[in-house]
Structure 1
Amino acid sequence: MGAAVVGRDGVVDQVRRFLTEGRPVLLEGPAGIGKTMVHRALLDAAARDGWLLLCCAPTETERALPFAALADVLAPLADRMGELSPPQRAALTGVLLTGDVTEPIDERAVGAATRALLEAAAADPARPRVLVAVDDAPWLDPPSERALRFALRRVVPRVAVLVTARADRPREAPAPLGLDHGATGGSLERMALGPLGVGALHHVLRAETGRVLPRPLLVRVAEESGGNPLLAIELARAVLRLPQLPAPGADLPAAPSLRQLVADRLATLPPPTRHAIRLAALSGVPTLAGLARAGVDAADLDAAEEAGLVAVTGEQVAFVHPVYAAALRAEVPPGVRRRLHRLLADTAQDPDERARQLARCVDAPDAAAAAEIAAAAARQRARGAPEIAAGLYDTAARLTPPDHADAHARWRLAAAQCRYDSGDYPAARAAAELAVQELTGPARGEALLVRAVIAFSADEPPETIVGYAERALAAAPEGSTLAGRIHAHLGMIRDAPDPARRHAERAVALLAGSPADRAEHAAALFLLLFNEVRAGLPARTELLEQGLAEEGEEPSWLAGNVPAIWWRALDDHDRSRERLHRMLERAAARGDEPYQHELLCHLGETELLAGRWADAAAHLAAARELGEQYGADAAGVEWLEGMLLAYRGRLDAATRIAEAGLRKAAETDDPWRRRIHAQLAGYAALTGGRLAEAARHYGVLAATVDEMGLVEPIAQRFEPDWLEACVGAGDLATAEAVLERLAVRHRRLPRPWTTLGLARSRVLLAGARGRDPSDALAELAAARAAVPAGVLPLDRARCLLVAGVAHRRVRRRREAREALSAAAAEFDALGAAALAARARAEAERTGGRVAPRQLTGTELEVARLAAAGRTNRIIADTLFISPKTVEANLARVYRKLGVTSRAELGAAMARGAGDG
């Protein structure tokens, strides 16, 4: 589905199902909510399915043109007019303007002719369905409306009907064309299009404006537009016309059309009403009681309610649309506005509302006001609203008198941290740099540490990140817990394992025994384990256990994911997955979207290795969307998406990602980016049979790892693939060296992947050297038996592939066929199309048949329905399975039968039926 209907996939699928069942559908909603876009998407889908489309989209100006809409609807049936009776044909001649009209048009004959043409079209076996679709039905000209009303109630459900209508309260308005009465009333499906969520609006605004709004600003645009795409686009354009983006807490600009609309309505209101709704617009959550304390009589709101600006329900006063309140605030003069905020502050009973109003009316240093505002900021931060808290902390810092330096520093730092937590990195960077300029002593060290963390998360150059952290360390008192925390951060920031290990050791020593820093001490223990292993030292897993015991309920963001990375490195995917999901839930509860992005990437990588590729794809899609919204570097997501594409056999797309990543790595001299994209490029080339190219990429990866001092690159497992590429390219000397390198890694830290990789590599090398592979094959069989069946399914299947080829080369045809058939089946189960094809090709070279070509029961039923021309949705409904299950079964059917289209599938099924 295109960007125009993003966020509406569920609605489109549901409407398509109703239309297929013959149930008329009425799509309703306010102007700009996206009815027409959904309508067009449904027409496109129906056209792809071969439906006959009879459509019209009347406009206000066409309402005065008799039969204009009906002519559009019936135009595709004009060639069937000869089938009508003479009176009906004469009536439609005037409607379609296909001949001379000498007599007045008989509307009853037009209705009967419309019905007759629709019935004839519905009976045509060449079309699966006929769809009458009217977009914006209230603008139908009256004669067209009467003719369609007459015909449709007589042809439904043989003819599908789709109508859209603008309605603010769709359930209370009568349905157009009388669809809610008579024969169609009982089957009519009325569907109200609701507001779009933040994620969907992100895609809409990016497509319409060409810009990506920072996540906190995007959330505000979504709130103030009420999720209406048209209003959101207008509001976003008004924001982007500003010289700089609005600060958190500042009003967003109202679009010119909305300002004029509100101004026109205000001009008709009496002065007390204008004063009342100004106060309501400036209030956080306006109520009658709160406005009464500010001197507003409830009767003063009546005129505003009649003008359609506000709605009063019980005690609540709500603007009919959030943008009305924003437009009202924009027209209040600054002096008047401060006085109104002061009035609301003095009469507010809720402490948060009082603090919010104080923040807008106090403009001189005031210690008491600053403390109230900071307390409200802390509450907002605890509730998961860091962007709101940031603005309040900034105001508290600005209002703090000079003799309250500690409070000023604390609140300035909190403002920068909250902006970081909200994912607005540019604003966080500016706030941290302001704190660095204003603060002195240890507080300046804290500010520099925050600035280093922002630089790390925003993917600034490594020397910049380390520079800020080292300046922070210089500003911290020697031997302090602040110094310990900075050392812990340097243990994460430094990529080279030896300096990172030394920083982690110092952090462990300085943070030990500090109750306030238990989570950071646990993080330092994790980092010490991690970097000792990366430096080639034995794994002290007691550090991990001690850290897990100390961290408490809330792991530190600093290295809380290290245990999950460690367990993933050991192929303990269940344990890694459980921790990552638990941390993701907590990050979501806090509203910490940058950390959610990081955790989703780790989950994607975990599920890739675990063979759960659909789950991996879902996590990576969510990570990409979050990253786009707050401007994260997409390198990690792109690498993992590229690996998923390569695993699934889409090698061209994977290669394009790898090449772009390697170019970027060369431009920025980024070793991490070079490592990950060299691995992707190597795997894509290896799977595609470009063996010398694959060996070259893996050589670059190994050289980069060695230059960095990474004795054990925990997250990267590439030696078995490098060896396979070298063997295929005929470079056996390098292959022998790679085998020894892999053996050293296995001796240092045995893992399932090293067990399988070593055994697979020895079979390959034995075959390349012309030696008897029997011993190596026995070792391979033992390795597969030692690794549980659910662990590393791709690696296990590749072991079978290598074993099958080795058996074939020494003419053990039965063993070869069995291994290769099993490999093809396991690749099929994973969705590894390229490797499955290779396994079948190798099996065919043995002269035998490959059992996995046989279809399962479900696959056979799906294939029969697809060959008969049924859509995926109809197949899903017929077999009581989901459309995604249909797609997965069809993909397997295509692979097993060696076909690429439904036409070829039909022929293959016909041959199968002929063969009995």
Structure 2
Amino acid sequence: MGGVVIGRDVVLGQARRSLDDGRPVLLEGPAGIGKTAVHRSLLDAAAGDGWLLLCCAPTEAERALPFAALADVLAPLADRAAELPPPQRTALAGVLLSGEVTEPVDERAVAAATRALFEAVARPERPHVLVAVDDAPWLDPPSERALRFALRRVVPRIAVLVTARSDRPQAMPAPLGLDHGATGALLDRVTVGPLGVGALHHVLRAATGTALPRPLLVRIAEESGGNPLLAIELARAVLRLPQQPAPGADLPAAPSLRHLIADRLAALPPPTRHAIRLAALSGVPTLDGLARAGVAAADLDPAEEAGLVAVAGEDVSFAHPVYAAAVRADVPTGVRRRLHRLLADTARDPDERARQLARCTSAPAPEAAAEIAAAAARQQARGAPEIAAGLYDTAARLGPPETVAEHARWRLAAAQCRYDSGDYAAARVAAEQAVEELTGPARGEALLLRAVIGWSADESPEKIMAIAERALAAAPPDTALAGRIHAHLGMFEDAPDPARRHAEHAAALLAGSPDDRPVYAAALMLLFFNEVRAGLTARTELLEQALAAEGDEPSWLAGTVPAIWWRGLDEHERARERLHWLLNRAVGRGDEPSQHELLCHLGETELLAGRWADAATHIAEARELGEQYGADSAGVEWLEGLLLAYRGRLEEATRIAVEGLGRADELDDRWRLRIHTQLAGYAALTGGRLPEAARHFGVLAATVDELGLVEPLAQRFEPDWLEACVGAGDLATAEAVLERLAVRHRRLPRPWTALGLARSRVLLDGALGRDPSDALVELDAARAAVPADVLPLDRARCLLVAGVAYRRIRRRREARDALTGAAAEFDALGAEALAARARAEAERTGGRVAPRQLTGTELEVARLAAAGRTNRVIADTLFISPKTVEANLARIYRKLGVTSRAELGATMARGVIGDG
């Protein structure tokens, strides 16, 4: 350890133990209590142990400097920037000022780069890296967001030490979100409390050079409440008296530390008071900057001798943040305005000049407004939207009434910046204020932004549509603005016909606008997509045209449309490639909402492709990501329910479906209604509750028809509906469903419609008492035409239906072969309920089916364990508890005659883990 910290052995010991264990540590207590001293002692100890220290100590003045704190933290890792993906590398150059910044800094990419650098130096076995922030509440907002994003993903592999001022320790929210989620469960909040008389004796003697009498020392300890900084100020006040107070006399009045400091300020020479006032009001005070404002270096000497400031080279800093705050509080309003003006007039940095102008200008001033707006644009480009928003607001306030265009642009920019910073509530208020203030096209822009904010904040679809329609009414017709609004309406609208019309208008209006190429490409994709959904012939040339126009910049409006289309055609590899391309771009930018959406799409794609372990991984990642940034969980819950239903865990799947339907009814959300109704139907069908399943699928069909959704690409429910109707004895509805499915197949033939039609005809022939032989031949041909790795669940279900049909017409050998094959295919997938049904049907043929070596769940546990996954990871991936994983592993070891994961891995590698 470096310097000795008096009276803090307990606090230091507790904090050190937590840091060694990877637990984040928050040192909290009132101003002046000694948090920084403890913080520095812990840093010295970590450095002595060879830890990598990534530190910053922001001040109140630096809160207006975007990424100032993050640059300090990441400086030791700057040489690793070359290893980052291009978007992250470019963004980090803007933070570290390590290269020319030619495009706006993407704040999400900064956060992703921060996480990537932390990951690069993190070790799994124990922390050896310490991220330390002294006085975290003064972090500039962009640094705070980037650190918040990164730290919650790397703890406990990286240790975290933070200090924060608090008069109510343990009661205030922790900085950087350290008290949330998994990090919150690890957080150790350490209160730095008052010092006792003995410790204060050493502190005061070191600070004042005088050993105070014990009675006086006790009184100072009582008056200061054990706060060392307040005790030092009290001791100095006492020592300035002509003689020490008598035992019964009052000490110098000290209602607060600020009052005591004000007394010290009053004792300074006028030039010194002027100098430190300028220093306190500066962004980052330097001797050169103060000299331009008329301050001589010697003017600071009395303040330095009094222990208020420190001068090191060109830098001027206050000995404690409280001192700077006390100085600012001591400046009268009129004087403060004049000093800000002086600093503005003498500043060389245009951003510092703009900040000072914003603080000293109250009347309309077009030149000042323009300077402040230019500074806002620079801050926005640097990835500091929150700071830029405040400057844009000031520019709009200071702009004279005649600068209508600039006022509109600045108001809109302020709202956009708040949206970009993720503060949707503030962005909503700013956008609504802009709507009230602006007219003409600018009002249309403001309304469009308001609709986008509502979309991101999960407001009701009806409200979002109403706002977007108002935007369209405010926009001049036949303009690019109108085209952009039509494109957004094409995405917001759920019904295909109006969505198609909006997309068509957007494509026509944006075709000649080079600045709107991504939105133009999105409009083409939405037009193609909604034409298909409306039942029109698929114009694939539109999709190709959109992909060509898109280039390397997919629009968030419709970037997933090609993948949804290819998945709808059962071209899973093309869909997978598109989604991974988009996901890699989103990861590089740090775009979590897009990552969440893409992981859900990947989960759905792998479910259809029969790669359920991969699907489970994507779904679990989407769940974790959504919980971290507060995404709507409906899609993840539906996918989890579908995976559970496929695996035969029907009670859990049904619970998810029921909860989802309740939420859909509460929100009047037709998308939620559709997905959870389909889940409820499948779970009921697999569980043998056939009338219930038929009812659910009937509701789903009615909802789809009500929307005019002729071709719901993502919903393939007719074969299940027909099976439920046949089982429930409703053959008239079953025949109507078969015709409905046949129409879908004629309009757009796909592997799933071919398999579904063949399966359905066999089922219906059997139910109507017709000879199913011709239908069975058709089913065999349909199965042969679909590769084994495409729709494996559908192919296995075809075998199950065929086996039952063969048994009913007394073709026992074909029945047994089909049912045994179905059981094996269900086993390979992990579809336990359907595998059990296939075995039961096979036994009814009079033959015997070999017992499985491993169940579906055991097989998946074995594969993951052999791949080196921990029990916790296996549990999260398969949605089971760690105890269930342990029980499955015990059975697996017993069945296979192995005793370790190494032996299990070898057995897997030899390919002798079977399922039948």
Instruction: Mark yes or no: TM-score above 0.5.
Output: yes
Q: 2-side partners of 1:433 and 1:623: how far apart? A: 32
Cα shift at 1:626: 4.8
Written as runs of structure 1 = structure 2, the 5 A alignment for 1:329-348 is 332-333=328-329, 335=333
Label 1:332 to 1:285 Cα distance change in 2 as closer, same or farther (>3 A). Answer: closer
| CA contact 2:344–2:356 (8 Å) conserved in 1 | yes
Instruction: Give the structure 2 partner of residue 762 of structure 1.
Output: 761
SS at match of 1:789: coil
Q: Does residue 883 in structure 1 map to residue 837 in structure 2?
A: no
Q: 2-side partners of 1:750 and 1:392: how far apart? A: 57
SS at match of 1:663: helix
| CA contact 2:507–2:523 (8 Å) conserved in 1 | yes
SS at match of 2:15: coil
Cα shift at 1:702: 0.5
| CA contact 1:497–1:534 (8 Å) conserved in 2 | yes
2:43 to 155, 165, 168: 168
Instruction: Give the structure 2 partner of residue 433 of structure 1.
Output: 432
Q: 1-side partners of 2:428 and 2:522: how far apart? A: 24
Structure 1: which amino acid aligns with 2:838?
Answer: A
CA deviation vs aligned residue, 1:537-577 (integer Å, no higher than 9, x gap)? 11111111222222333122222332222222222233223
Q: Does residue 476 in structure 1 map to residue 475 in structure 2?
A: yes
Q: 1-side partners of 2:310 and 2:657: how far apart? A: 55
1:31 to 4, 12, 15: 15
Cα shift at 1:596: 3.8
Q: Does residue 742 in structure 1 map to residue 741 in structure 2?
A: yes
| CA contact 2:22–2:127 (8 Å) conserved in 1 | no
Q: 2-side partners of 1:611 and 1:265: how far apart? A: 70
Structure 2: which amino acid aligns with 1:509?
Answer: A
Instruction: Give the structure 2 partner of residue 25 of structure 1.
Output: none
Moved more, 166-175 or 775-784: 166-175
CA deviation vs aligned residue, 1:169-212 (integer Å, no higher than 9, x gap)? 4555579xxxxxxxxxxxx9864475599xxx9xxxxxxxxxxx
Instruction: Give the structure 2 partner of residue 710 of structure 1.
Output: 709
| CA contact 1:33–1:228 (8 Å) conserved in 2 | no
Moved more, 900-909 or 287-296: 287-296
| CA contact 1:292–1:298 (8 Å) conserved in 2 | no
Q: Does residue 658 in structure 1 map to residue 642 in structure 2?
A: no
Structure 1: which amino acid aligns with 2:640?
Answer: E
Label 1:730 to 1:496 Cα distance change in 2 as closer, same or farther (>3 A). Answer: same
Q: 2-side partners of 1:860 and 1:660: how far apart? A: 30
Label 1:852 to 1:439 Cα distance change in 2 as closer, same or farther (>3 A). Answer: farther
Structure 2: which amino acid aligns with 1:168?
Answer: L
Label 1:644 to 1:798 Cα distance change in 2 as closer, same or farther (>3 A). Answer: same
| CA contact 2:286–2:314 (8 Å) conserved in 1 | yes
Label 1:650 to 1:346 Cα distance change in 2 as closer, same or farther (>3 A). Answer: farther
Q: What's the C-alpha RMSD, in Å, of the aligned pairs? A: 5.3
Label 1:286 to 1:529 Cα distance change in 2 as closer, same or farther (>3 A). Answer: farther
Instruction: Give the structure 2 partner of residue 148 of structure 1.
Output: none
Moved more, 684-693 or 226-235: 226-235
Instruction: Give the structure 1 partner of residue 528 of structure 2.
Output: 529
Cα shift at 1:516: 2.4
Q: 2-side partners of 1:471 and 1:286: how far apart? A: 49
Q: TM-score, normalised by structure 2?
A: 0.64
Instruction: Give the structure 2 partner of residue 393 of structure 1.
Output: 392
| CA contact 2:310–2:318 (8 Å) conserved in 1 | yes
Structure 1: which amino acid aligns with 2:868?
Answer: I
Q: Does residue 609 in structure 1 map to residue 608 in structure 2?
A: yes
Instruction: Give the structure 1 partner of residue 442 of structure 2.
Output: 443
Instruction: Give the structure 2 partner of residue 131 of structure 1.
Output: none
Cα shift at 1:847: 5.1
Instruction: Give the structure 1 partner of residue 570 of structure 2.
Output: 571
| CA contact 1:804–1:815 (8 Å) conserved in 2 | yes
Instruction: Give the structure 1 partner of residue 456 of structure 2.
Output: 457
| CA contact 1:685–1:694 (8 Å) conserved in 2 | yes
| CA contact 2:861–2:874 (8 Å) conserved in 1 | no
Label 1:591 to 1:376 Cα distance change in 2 as closer, same or farther (>3 A). Answer: farther
Instruction: Give the structure 2 partner of residue 414 of structure 1.
Output: 413
Q: 1-side partners of 2:755 and 2:400: how far apart? A: 67
| CA contact 2:142–2:383 (8 Å) conserved in 1 | no
Instruction: Give the structure 2 partner of residue 771 of structure 1.
Output: 770
Q: 2-side partners of 1:731 and 1:327: how far apart? A: 83
Q: 1-side partners of 2:442 and 2:321: how far apart? A: 40
Instruction: Give the structure 2 partner of residue 424 of structure 1.
Output: 423
Instruction: Give the structure 1 partner of residue 35 of structure 2.
Output: none
Cα shift at 1:397: 2.6
Cα shift at 1:462: 3.1
Structure 2: which amino acid aligns with 1:766?
Answer: D
Q: 2-side partners of 1:773 and 1:564: how far apart? A: 37
Q: 2-side partners of 1:193 and 1:823: how far apart? A: 54
Instruction: Give the structure 2 partner of residue 85 of structure 1.
Output: none
Label 1:436 to 1:861 Cα distance change in 2 as closer, same or farther (>3 A). Answer: closer
Structure 2: which amino acid aligns with 1:420?
Answer: Y
Tell me the matched-pair count.
Answer: 702
| CA contact 2:830–2:860 (8 Å) conserved in 1 | no
Label 1:791 to 1:337 Cα distance change in 2 as closer, same or farther (>3 A). Answer: farther
Q: 2-side partners of 1:885 and 1:789: how far apart? A: 32
Structure 1: which amino acid aligns with 2:837?
Answer: R
Cα shift at 1:532: 1.6
Moved more, 326-335 or 843-852: 326-335
Instruction: Give the structure 2 partner of residue 511 of structure 1.
Output: 510
CA deviation vs aligned residue, 1:640-693 (integer Å, no higher than 9, x gap)? 232233223332222222112212222333322211111111112122222211
CA deviation vs aligned residue, 1:16-75 (integer Å, no higher than 9, x gap)? xxxxxxxxxxxx9983995598799xxxxxxxxxxxxxxxxxxxxxxxxxxxxxxxxxxx
Unaligned 5+ runs, structure 2:
1-11, 25-40, 51-123, 153-158, 176-188, 195-224, 237-260, 900-916
Moved more, 228-237 or 542-551: 228-237
Q: 1-side partners of 2:311 and 2:759: how far apart? A: 72
Structure 2: which amino acid aligns with 1:31?
Answer: A
Label 1:193 to 1:591 Cα distance change in 2 as closer, same or farther (>3 A). Answer: closer
Instruction: Give the structure 2 partner of residue 486 of structure 1.
Output: 485
| CA contact 2:617–2:877 (8 Å) conserved in 1 | no
Structure 2: which amino acid aligns with 1:534?
Answer: R
Label 1:174 to 1:229 Cα distance change in 2 as closer, same or farther (>3 A). Answer: closer
Structure 2: which amino acid aligns with 1:450?
Answer: L
Q: 2-side partners of 1:757 and 1:409: how far apart? A: 57
Q: 2-side partners of 1:611 and 1:641: how far apart? A: 15
Written as runs of structure 1 = structure 2, the 5 A alignment for 1:144-159 is none
Structure 1: which amino acid aligns with 2:751?
Answer: P
| CA contact 1:580–1:599 (8 Å) conserved in 2 | yes
Label 1:436 to 1:611 Cα distance change in 2 as closer, same or farther (>3 A). Answer: same
Label 1:568 to 1:862 Cα distance change in 2 as closer, same or farther (>3 A). Answer: closer
Cα shift at 1:836: 3.4
CA deviation vs aligned residue, 1:221-260 (integer Å, no higher than 9, x gap)? 679999558969989964699xxxxxxxxxxxx9998999
Instruction: Give the structure 2 partner of residue 78 of structure 1.
Output: none
Cα shift at 1:706: 0.9
| CA contact 1:365–1:400 (8 Å) conserved in 2 | yes
Instruction: Give the structure 2 partner of residue 61 of structure 1.
Output: none
Q: 1-side partners of 2:315 and 2:825: how far apart? A: 61
| CA contact 2:500–2:531 (8 Å) conserved in 1 | yes
Q: 2-side partners of 1:775 and 1:815: how far apart? A: 15
| CA contact 1:288–1:298 (8 Å) conserved in 2 | no
**Identity rate, percent:** 68
Q: 1-side partners of 2:743 and 2:517: how far apart? A: 36
Written as runs of structure 1 = structure 2, the 5 A alignment for 1:666-685 is 666-685=665-684
Instruction: Give the structure 2 partner of residue 638 of structure 1.
Output: 637
Label 1:406 to 1:890 Cα distance change in 2 as closer, same or farther (>3 A). Answer: closer
| CA contact 2:354–2:371 (8 Å) conserved in 1 | yes
Structure 1: which amino acid aligns with 2:712?
Answer: P
Q: 2-side partners of 1:419 and 1:861: how far apart? A: 46
Q: 2-side partners of 1:785 and 1:656: how far apart? A: 37
Q: Does residue 751 in structure 1 map to residue 739 in structure 2?
A: no
Q: 2-side partners of 1:522 and 1:848: how far apart? A: 59
SS at match of 1:31: helix
Q: 1-side partners of 2:342 and 2:807: how far apart? A: 89
Moved more, 513-522 or 689-698: 513-522
